[in-house]
Structure 1
Amino acid sequence: MKFTNRKRLSTVNGEDSHISTEMTNPFIHEVRLTPLQKLKVAVMTVSLFPVRLLFAVFMMLLAWPFTFVGTQGWSEHTVEPLSWWRWLAKLALRSLMRAMWFFAGFHWIAVKGRLAPPTEAPILTVAPHSSYFDSIPVTMTMASVVMKAESKDIPVWGTLIKFIRPVFVSRSDQDSRRKTVEEIKRRASSAGEWPQIMVFPEGTCTNRSCLISFKPGAFIPGVPVQPVVLRYRNEMDTVSWTWQGPGAFKVLWLTLCQLHNSIEIEYLPTYTPSTEEKRDPALYASNVRHIMAKALGLPITDYSFEDCRLTMVRGPLALPSHTCLLEFSRLVRLLGLKPGASDQVLEEMACRARELCGHGRSLEGVAEFLRLPVTQTLQDVFALFEEHGQMDVREFVIALSIICRPFQHLETLQLAFRMFEAEEDGCIVEHELAVILKTALGVSDLTVCDVFRATDTGNKGKITFNDFREFLESCPNFLELFCCVQKPSPTGSLGAQNHSSGPDLLPQDPNTANPAHSKKQD
């Protein structure tokens, strides 16, 4: 059986959802301009862009005095009645922010549904989260948001965000997550005294191709929430700002070069949790996500913010745009293996896999090796590697090491070599390198042959880990030189014997990561 992006049918409150699709990587976005679009952007760059940017910045600077006055005397822990002068400052700020978005090309903003009052829905959950332009509904509602504490120290911007009474998260405080949840619960239980809290439950920006897993923070208080969905209607998507794709300035530049930017905000009916959902925030979050996905007509996927680490790496062995590694990571997380896969555990699994000497294992044998029962999830994992009804558990260990240590590609390679090398000389031969590279990179036989010859400089017919490490150091872009990356096919397998496209799994050191990957995280 070969890996395939199977269509899945979701269930919402006992009813089957119509959402099913072929999954793509939600953390990658490409902007491809036609020659005509490039010409339009060139013209707008020297004409419309500087004017829009100037007026947008001017509106933000003009808003600063109102927010400065409005925040004087405010406490971060108590809420005071909105005095008349603060009410005027709030009105002025909303008007100026709307003018700023107008000059950015959002000439009209379509709004569907009704914004519930704080007493009815203390928390607003917004998705999909794909851009810093998602702050448009924040400026329209003046709802509080959850953001990192360092933001309040940014000149001008820090003063502006203080006015909406955000819930600040301190990355330097190890207990920050618990404190943030407690603060959300305190505000949500204030019977409307505090402003509504607007939460982006995905926790990171995606390309809007699906809804990834919702974090439970907004659902832990167990209070009613109002789902809010965003739609950007432009034919060319210039607003998406995710982990692989245009950087922040390029997104701003291309968006401001569009004659008009369309956004639609839809307020869905308030969702009141059941008793079971109040006890289980994960269930609450899942049910709300299904409702929002159905309204958007988007699929859902169990990919999460943690999976972004697999896509943000760069180097000679980087993850491609189409890979089943994310699917493997999702399944491993469902099996409960990922949190406990420490270096010591991986070494122990590698030793047991080596003792099998490459003998294939059946599904029951794999379950015994992993010390897990046979479940549907384990069957899905088996299907990723299976060839002729058998699975080489060494390939599983390699893939597991990759998703648990995405920045430590040399450690993963060394682990793989130890599972395959001969005891007498610590060497592997060409077909064994093929197994490793096919699991890690998805390369063809001919390419493996070329790589092996380039690594085996002494024509010994075998290589060691040190030989391959020296080859990587001398040829960091060997994937391009040896044409190792294949075009994605409708199906792919992690199994070494499959000649279809497999995943590029091994990343480079995090210091070489693209600076553009410091994307907005909530």
Structure 2
Amino acid sequence: MSQSVLLLPVLPFSSLRKCVCVFVQSPQILYCPVFIACLLALREHVLTCLLLRNLVAVLFRFMCRRVMAALGRTYYFCMGFRVVVKGKQVSSSEAPILAVAPHSTFFDGIVCIVAGLPSTVSRVENLATPIFGRFVRCLQPVLVSRQDPDSRKNTIREIDNRAKSGGRWPQVLIFPEGTCTNRSCLITFKQGAFIPGVPVQPVLMRYPNKMDTVTWTWQGFIHFVLDLLHDFVTFFFLKFLPPQIPTEEEKKSPSLFANTVRNVMAQALGVPVTDHTYEDCRLMISAGELTLPMEAGLVEFTKISRKLNLKWDNVKKELEGFAAMATSCKGGRINIEEFASFLKLPVSPALEELFALFDRNGDGTIDFREYVIGVTILCRPANTDDVLRMAFQLFDTDEDERITREEFTALLRSALGVSDLNMAKLFKEIDADGSGFITFAEFQAFAKSHPEYAKLFTTYLELQRYQALQKVGADDVEEANHTSSGDSQEDSTSDKKDD
């Protein structure tokens, strides 16, 4: 008689597995109706236990959220915060995403408590923070990792999945500015919250105290602590605006939807909007590290990067080049003398013309924004092989495919008025291998890394061409006047003869 096997659902109880093994070894028992009835009853009992366990888990999570929310409110109350809430928060099915602004301090975390502990977008490093990390983990956050190159793509995908879950996930709370500001305006919103194309509920935050006791920077921590001790009560106003439902056009353009929501929030707050972004804050920090005024990094990066197709790393390198020029300038702006000193050239008509092209507002100085735009629009397009070959040929008077120091000196002295001392330093910098002459490869490499020179040479050529045309025009006028005078004299002579 063959051995019979009864298929049972897998149960997480070791004792039940042992019973099944025993009964499988005794096949005659398996055919007993009583035993089958017992197995069915046992199965129903197990399923009931599983359902109860899931129900208990749901209740446990619900209670945890309630308890954590209560503890959070108590924590902020003890710190002197008095919360005033206006408007009505809608459900996750009505608006899966909460967009909160303006973001100015770590105390803004109180909005998570008031909003019922929604999910947040958080750095993965925050999970390792004592106490706070476990609190963040309980919120089922969308984690962002700076080490993972696919983190941004994965974050957007996770936000999209949760936003389109039909209310099965908690609401996702996002600070769309991406960084802290001083609340005087709303900077450009990042698009992550608006890519899913679902309704977004704007949430406004205000700290109406006369003295700002919540905002601080790494440069003013002591002042922040003293201000915090000044007021024993800090009022916090939170307002839920009606959800913003995207149009079909806004669903296709997250940036358009982001600007619409930002404008609605700015109007409700009574503050302006600006095109500065988180990348500008990074440039500000970099400017400070380069001993430049931090405001030098405020170039409206996102705005100019879209128009000029710039990458942040490239702009960071341009900032380093600008800092090399502006080291002696405390205001973070470069005048023509400092510009000439950096290029190791004297002030000449060609250099003045180049400086005027950089100086977009005509105030006699160049700030970092003007420098970035000038280098990108004016200088780098001038570094074509044709332009560089033409400039090289200007120096190479004997056409032997190399520039000697004498050739180099002759042109710079006549064209730009460079002294022998400055010429020697510049020649040595271009002559990378120290051979005593400059090849086209060395000339090209120097022009690529110093695009101002290529534009300077083309500016010189344009001035020479313009002066030549002016001279030709003046000669033509003089010749025409001379011809006209001759004709008049002939007419006068003929008249006399007639007389």
1:425 equivalent in alignment to 2:398 = no
Q: Does 1:303 align with 2:247?
A: no
Q: Distance in 2 between matches of 1:144 and 1:93?
A: 14
1:219 aligns with 2:194: yes
Q: Pick from 101, 104, 112 the counterpart of residue 127 of structure 1.
A: 101
Distance 1:341 1:313 in 2: 11
The residue that corresponds to 1:267 in the other structure is: 240
The code of the aligned residue for 1:384 comes to N
1:113 to 84, 87, 93: 87
Q: What value does the CA root-mean-square deviation take over the aligned residues?
A: 4.1
Post-superposition shift, 1:398?
Answer: 9.4
Structure-2 change in CA distance of 1:224 and 1:236 (3 Å) = same
1:253–1:337 CA distance, 2 compared to 1 (3 A): same
Distance 1:90 1:383, change over 3 A: same
SS of residue paired to 2:122: strand
State the distance in 2 between where 1:317 and 1:281 align. Answer: 35
Distance 1:253 1:185, change over 3 A: farther
Specify the alignment match of 1:326 in structure 2: 298
Matched, 1:285 2:281: no
- Alignment match, 1:228: 203
Which residue of structure 2 lines up, in the alignment, with residue 506 of structure 1? none
Shift of 1:86: 2.4
Please point out which of 88, 91, 101 is paired with 2:76: 101
Partner of residue 433, structure 2: none
Match of 1:335 in 2: 307
Asked whether the 8 Å contact 1:360–1:393 carries over to 2, the reply is no
Aligned AA (2:238): I
Displaced runs of 4+ in structure 1, greater than 6 A? 79-82, 343-348, 353-356, 390-395
Q: Percent identity?
A: 38
Counterparts of 1:393 and 1:87 in 2: how far apart (Å)? 53
TM-score (norm 2): 0.54
* Deviation of the 1:325 alpha carbon: 5.5
Deviation at 1:334, TM superposition (A): 4.9
CA contact (8 A) 2:277 2:300 kept: no
SS of match in other structure, 1:265: strand
* Mapped partners of 2:231, 2:317: distance in 1: 52
Structure 2 Cα separation of the partners of residues 298 and 286 of structure 1? 14
Q: Could you give the per-residue CA deviations for residues 151-204 of structure 1, whole angstroms, max 9, x where no partner exists?
A: 112222111111111111111111100000000000001111111000000000
Q: CA offset at residue 99 of structure 1?
A: 0.4
SS in 1 for 2:178: coil
Match of 1:5 in 2: none
Contact preservation (8 Å) 1:361, 1:391: no
Matched, 1:194 2:190: no
Q: 2:60 aligns with which of 85, 89, 96?
A: 85
Cα distance between partner residues in 2 of 1:188 and 1:394: 38
More helix by share: 2
Residue 253 and residue 80 in structure 1: after superposition, are their counterparts in 2 closer, same or farther (change >3 A)? farther
Find the aligned partners of 1:182 and 1:357 in 2 and give their Cα distance.
53
How many residues are treated as equivalent by the alignment? 310
Per-residue CA distance 1:379-415 (angstroms, 9 max, x = gap): xx8643466xx999997369869xxxxxxxxxxxxxx
Question: Secondary structure of the residue that 1:262 maps to in structure 2?
Answer: strand
Unaligned runs of 5+ in 2: 1-53, 322-338, 377-415, 425-499
Matched letter for residue 360 of structure 1? E
Give how far 1:359 is off.
Answer: 4.2
- 2:353 corresponds to 1:360: yes
- In 1, the alpha carbon distance for the partners of 2:246 and 2:297 equals 34
Q: Secondary structure at the match of 2:107?
A: helix
Contact 1:225 / 1:271 at 8 angstroms: preserved in 2? yes
Q: Could you say what secondary structure the match of 1:312 adopts?
A: helix
Match of 2:139? 164
Greater C-alpha Rg: 2
Residue number in structure 2 paired with 1:246: 220
Q: Distance in 2 between matches of 1:308 and 1:398?
A: 19
Task: Write the distance in 1 (CA, Å) between the matches of 2:258 and 2:103.
Answer: 15
Q: Larger RCO: Structure 1 or Structure 2 (Cα < 8 Å, ≥ 6 residues apart)?
A: 1
Deviation of 1:306 (Å): 0.5
Distance 1:227 1:324 in 2: 32
Q: Which AA in structure 2 matches 1:339?
A: K
* Structure 1 CA distance for aligned equivalents of residues 239 and 366 of structure 2: 48
- Conserved? CA contact 1:131–1:205, under 8 Å: yes
The one-letter code matched in structure 1 to 2:102 is P
Q: CA deviation at 1:269?
A: 0.6
- Corresponding position of 1:208: 183
Q: In the aligned structure 1, how far is the partner of 2:266 from the partner of 2:306?
A: 21
Secondary structure of the residue aligned to 1:161 is helix
Contact kept, 8 Å, 1:234 with 1:261, in 2: the verdict is yes
